Amino acid sequence: MKLTSILTIIIVAITIVLPFETFGQNNSEYSFNRGMEEYRAENYSSALEWFQKAVSQNPHNALANMYVSILKQADEQYGMALSAINRAIKSIPKKDKEMLASAYAIRGDIYVEMGDTIKGLEDFAFAVKSDPTNRAIYKNRGQIYYEQGKYDLSDADYKKMSELDPGDVLGYMGIARNAIDQKKWNDAITLLDYVIKLSPDYSSGYSFRADAYINIGKNSEAADDIVKALSINGDRKAHYLMVNADKTLYPTLKAKLQIQANKDKNDGSWYYYLGQLAEVNNRYKEAVNYYTKGYDIDANSIFLEKIADCYFALGDYHAALNFVDRGLAMAADDDDLIMSKGDILNEMGRHDEAIRMLDSFIDKNPEFGYGYYRRGWYKDEKGDREGAIDDYTMAISLDPSYAYSYIGRGRDYEMLGQKELAVADYRKVIELETIPNDNSCAQYAFLFLGEKDKAIDFMSRYLENSNSRTGGTYDAACLYALMGESEKALKYLEQALERGYRRFAHMEVDRDLENIRGLSKYKELIDKYKRIQETENTIIDENISSSMTYSKVNEIIEIPFTKESGVAKVKCNINGLPLHFVLDTGAADVTMSMVEANFMLKNDYIKPSDIVGSARYMDANGDITEGTVVILRNVNFGGLELDNVRASVIRNQKAPLLLGQSVLGRLGTIEIDNSKSVLRITAHQ
């Protein structure tokens, strides 16, 4: 359950306004306080039960009613939320202006979420009048005005926030965001300069300023701000700007990210960002190189997943499958890896295996509609129309707003001769998609209904409004190919290829392109862009990091272990110090106690330069503290050696030296053979 930040702010305010003692020492107060304990621990279901109990014991407990309202709103149970907040409003003394203001603001937010902006703004107006010092109310109303495009009113609310607290950045940020939305780039930059002076570690100041810099062509400044925002907290907007960087920003941003990677040699995230930047620019082999370097620093399954994505895009399905399997060996329950493996197997023509992968995904996520849609797609590819219809129907029951489920089912109905059902599904797609977006399929629905002119009109609006890198051009190629208009289909296919759509293997099996695949112009285009792709992906092979290439095919290594009190231990040597690892294949990282870490530090087995991560410090006594990340320069066990292994220091002084996936994942598939007391490692291919 996610609660909006504004409601959290309001709740802090009302808790301060009305202390708990007001209710007296009674059962309702006890239940309320228990609810607060659960709420602060983010156990929202339990918190709701306690707050409801407090209300049942005392219906006039205003605070309990307010919390019930907020939790019901977060669960989109708006009727119950309104009932609770109305009970609260009736129970609050009229003289308690601050608490009344908070209650009306909560109700106003509920009305807005329900789509009744008029009532919502009426409540916010009353809230502001009751308590003109509550900054959270101005913030929430300013957001509503922003969404309505009423920038002057929104600016006024954000300005009032800044007047109430000149040291807080949120008011200035609101006005700057409004300026960006109105393309007032220089005004936004001036405001954001001030935000950054107020709060140099506030990442949004940099990411929003980067947006403005991009739009006035200051790419160097924009790249600096993107990198700075990412360095603070992996800022989402900065990440979005990075992966959507155009060709003019790309080289500068790449250089700045590389500089940061060189500075933070033990932070794999920079190679993750470099990999993503290369990947979205179709430089898949370069991306593999970066992801591999990141994996060498931090053996996380996300790097393996991204490498698999790159090989998938290149059509090297065997390599993609290998890396997905490596990722699953580290994180067997990772939904993204399971879905990726299903997609790879499906495009390899191994439809039954792909379907089994989605079976396991659906077993874990039985209420996630997209899983059924995807399995239905695989069944379609296999030719199982009835099975596909069953899955599309389940997907629709769970997510009635996903148009592609109707398109898939409609096409299957049509192939089975059930025309009326097909028409109903196509009509539903058109009902859902009145405005084109980057995931639209209504153009196909119009075509299948025989309404060709409407299909062309919808596709034209799709192309005009698209914000995707390829601008909807591949969908246009598919549409015109289905229409039999080869010349237009090839024109849009060329545009898609030029803009970066390079999934050549998918194009060879995409049934929408069947009408043009046999044409010489199609083959010329594919050959041309395959050559371009190869040029773009030319890199120096020796740059590929060792962890992806060192192992022999199918090499199996056995390392003996001993057991003490049911715990498996392996002899190891860390930076020359003989120790024992405790095996834990479920642990993500290598961990060690503060006792071990401080001993190694004071005896030069760990150097101060090896201390990295978010807690890069020693205390006043020169000791390593909890939360520190250290780099183990050399780890040797059973004759296997790895360099630069990350380890986390934990508070428990008796904690063992734990061998986690940051080591095991770099070696291969791990099996513990208890009968022979050996750790069997099958090296990665």
pLDDT tens column, 627-659:
678 888 888 877 778 887 888 887 666 667 877
Q: Is there a domain that residue 459 lies in?
A: no
Residue 227 pLDDT > 80, yes or no? Answer: yes
pLDDT of residue 18: 43
CATH code of the domain covering residue 144: 1.25.40.10
- What residue numbers bound the domain in which 564 lies? 552-683
Q: Could you tell me which residue, 589 or 222, shows the higher pLDDT? A: 222
- Roughly what angle, to the nearest 10 degrees, separates helices 97-113 and 5-17? 160
Question: How confident is residue 612, by pLDDT bands cut at 50, 70 and 90?
Answer: confident
Question: How confident is residue 586, by pLDDT bands cut at 50, 70 and 90?
Answer: low
Strand-pair partners of 668: 683
- Out of 72-76, 369-373, 541-545, 601-605, which region has the weakest mean confidence (pLDDT)? 541-545
Where a domain ends, among 211, 226, 242? Answer: 242
CATH code of the domain covering residue 659: 2.40.70.10
Q: Determine how β-strand 577-583 pairs with β-strand 658-659.
A: parallel
Where a domain ends, among 242, 266, 298? Answer: 242
Residue 153 makes CB contacts below 8 A (sequence gap 6+) with: 142, 145
CA neighbor of 629 nearest in space, from 643, 648, 653, 645:
648
Where a domain ends, among 213, 242, 271? Answer: 242
- Out of 199-203, 263-267, 353-357, 447-451, which region has the weakest mean confidence (pLDDT)? 263-267
CA neighbor of 411 nearest in space, from 434, 438, 389:
389
In the predicted model, what is the mean pLDDT of the chain?
87
Residue 508 pLDDT > 80, yes or no? Answer: yes
Q: Is there a domain that residue 586 lies in?
A: yes
* In contact, 577 and 605? CB cutoff 8 Å: yes
Residue 369: C-alpha distances to residues 224, 378, 391, 405, 506 (Å): 40, 15, 9, 9, 24
Question: How confident is residue 426, by pLDDT bands cut at 50, 70 and 90?
Answer: very high
Q: Is there a domain that residue 203 lies in?
A: yes
* In contact, 378 and 348? CB cutoff 8 Å: no
Q: Is there a domain that residue 436 lies in?
A: no
CA neighbor of 149 nearest in space, from 127, 117, 125:
117
* End-to-end Cα distance, the chain: 42
**pLDDT tens per residue, range 320-341:** 999 999 898 888 889 999 999 9
Share of the chain above pLDDT 90, in %: 63
- Roughly what angle, to the nearest 10 degrees, separates helices 335-347 and 301-314? 20
* In contact, 317 and 349? CB cutoff 8 Å: no
Total domains in the chain come to: 2
Read off the amino acid at residue 36: M
pLDDT of residue 653: 62
**pLDDT tens per residue, range 382-421:** 999 999 999 999 999 999 999 999 999 999 999 999 999 9
Question: How confident is residue 542, by pLDDT bands cut at 50, 70 and 90?
Answer: very low
Residue 549 pLDDT > 50, yes or no? Answer: no
- Roughly what angle, to the nearest 10 degrees, separates helices 369-382 and 351-364? 170
Q: Is there a domain that residue 54 lies in?
A: yes
Q: Is there a domain that residue 649 lies in?
A: yes
Question: How confident is residue 151, by pLDDT bands cut at 50, 70 and 90?
Answer: very high
Q: Is there a domain that residue 268 lies in?
A: no
Give the pLDDT mean for 605-616.
73
**pLDDT tens per residue, range 181-218:** 999 999 999 999 999 999 999 999 999 999 999 999 99
Q: Is there a domain that residue 329 lies in?
A: no
